[in-house]
Amino acid sequence: MKVIVTGAAGFIGSNIVKALNARGVTDIVAVDNLARAEKMPNLADCEIADYLDKQDFIDRIRADEFDVGFTAVLHQGACSDTMETDGRYMMENNYRYSVDLLDWCQRLDIPYIYASSASVYGAGRVFRESREHEGPLNVYGYSKFLFDQVVRRRLAGRTAQVAGFRYFNVYGPRESHKGRMASVAFHFFDQYLKDARVRLFEGSPGYGPGEQIRDFVSVEDAVKVNLFFLDHPGISGIFNVGTGKAQSFNDVACATVNAVRRARGEAPQSLAQLRESGAIEYIAFPAQLVGKYQSYTQADISALRAAGYVAPFLSVEEGVGKYVASRLRDEERR
């Protein structure tokens, strides 16, 4: 098997590369932008055949100067900063890049598995892969939305697999480079180890303190979905990737704190106990997020199930517990 993984040094991309290695796959062309080198450690324990800068890669694709014979392209590369205001950059980096890579894959009959985003649903309350439920709130979401529309128009006439995944709130190992865009589980862990407390937003319209709810999905599960479609190149479409069960930010905070407590031999505590002790506190809702914040997301995964993916998803308690344990091991090795 010979594959291309874009965004290979990023969060989901590097986890995919590591999972491919676990299968014995090492003939991997890793594509990324290491102008900021903090992502490099994500690839340090991975086996790849070659590395290409993302601009060099797409230039060669556009010039049709790239070798053929690839089993698949797993396109995970994108600017995922939802606060990015440079729309021209976002559309070139996320939209045009993806279209040109799709064109190349279709011309050469190469399966194309790519990352979309639940941000395409915006402030909607129905999270089903259908146009009437989509309305992105920022240019990042729009870049993903617009590419999904291209895919929809081309699905009927495709020459090879095209599968897009609308990731919900993914958390897990190999995300430290993301900074403020890392998951809440990542930030809660750092806050608790540093200050013995985690900080959540106060209520937003219709939600009490920390009661905003989202579909938090482990990167372990996101990777499993990618590999399932890699193994089933006859399946195409656009699919939500989430657990199908929304949980609150309070749930993530409790899971994070209690996983640390268990590792220290301490008994878990309830939300009320953690609030009373000051281990959980609430801060003002940021003004800049008003009108741009998803207080509720819950993936409708019926299309994913209908496509044949039947594996269970980790709950917040299970997934965050595993994540915290891995981060504590990393801390011990330092």
The catalytic residue positions are 140, 178
Instruction: Please say whether the beta carbons of 281 and 210 come within 8 A.
Output: no
Asked if residues 220 and 146 have their Cβ atoms less than 8 Å apart, the reply is no
User: Residue 30: beta bridge partners?
Assistant: 5, 51
- Please spell the DSSP secondary structure of 22-51, one letter per residue: HTT---EEEEE--SSGGGTHHHHT---SEE
Calpha distance 204→118 (Å, rounded):
20
Half-sphere exposure of 330 (CA within 13 A, CB side): 13
Strands 213-214 and 247-248: antiparallel
Structure tokens at 215: 């579909």
Torsion of CA 113, 119, 124, 129, to 10 degrees: 0
- Alpha helix ranges (H) inside the chain: 11-22, 41-44, 54-62, 87-90, 97-107, 139-154, 184-195, 219-231, 249-263, 271-277, 302-306, 316-333
